Structure 1
């Protein structure tokens, strides 16, 4: 994957995240774009109004089997655990067969933090940083609410 493609796809994920910014309750509005193993967009998602479903869930459902071997671009670290129970986004990305995850920023929330570590332990390549500046601006209030 090229640095240019990473920036372009993360820009698209950030645009999705902005769609529901301020409409997701206590949860941040996250954007997710999934490419198949050939680099074609096969799924997109944004956190639902009120905070559910999570962006990764929406994008994975749209992508289906095409996600296997692909790349997920997520504006915020995929959750390690779900506060409401059920499978976390990091677990769902692993089960879908995603080969690589690119995320802008880590999630400081104590329940969500650690999703990247879970993915790496599962053998998934994780790159952090594309779109960091824009994501930090988008999540400023969310980050402040945790500290």
Structure 2
């Protein structure tokens, strides 16, 4: 559990550095871990694209397979652009477990991301350090469709 806390705190720090820079999208942090070490990390970029998971998975490459992703906000289940969602990207990368701090109320997530991950056999844990991560999203007003 101690390592989980450390990795999620790193994801929160990555997101915190982007608060106010991601336009309509929330600032999200993602850390990908394999064999107990960080193999990729990222945050939602300026203007809201790419998403944190995309950045972290690109950095991790094949090392993500069988690993764990720590994400501050539930991965999207659909994209307004029609591009592959973050939950689809996590499944395609072969991560075995996704640890999420906060649920996302957006219609593009709202349980869809977690459902897709679980449906693909990925273990999903929700709520780790949610009290610390929640402050990142106090001003976030998601689109509803």
- Give the TM-score, by structure 2 length: 0.95
Counterpart CA distance in 2 for 1:131 and 1:107 is: 15
Which secondary structure does the structure 2 equivalent of 1:35 belong to?
strand
Q: List aligned pairs for 1:45-84, cutoff 5 A.
A: 45-84=42-81
RMSD of aligned alpha carbons: 1.2
Do residues 125 (structure 1) and 129 (structure 2) align?
no
- Give the TM-score, by structure 1 length: 0.94
Gaps of at least 5 residues in structure 1 are none
Q: Is the 8 A contact 1:108 1:146 kept in 2?
A: no
Counterpart CA distance in 1 for 2:15 and 2:134 is: 12
- Shift, 1:134, TM fit: 1.4
Counterpart CA distance in 2 for 1:133 and 1:101 is: 18
Tell me what 1:21 maps to: 19
Gaps of at least 5 residues in structure 2 are none
Q: Is the 8 A contact 1:29 1:46 kept in 2?
A: yes
- Shift, 1:146, TM fit: 5.8
Structure 1 window deviating more from structure 2 (21-30 vs 108-117): it is 108-117
User: 1:18-67 deviations in whole A, cap 9, x for unaligned?
Assistant: 1110110010000000001x111100000000000000000000000000
Which secondary structure does the structure 2 equivalent of 1:141 belong to?
coil
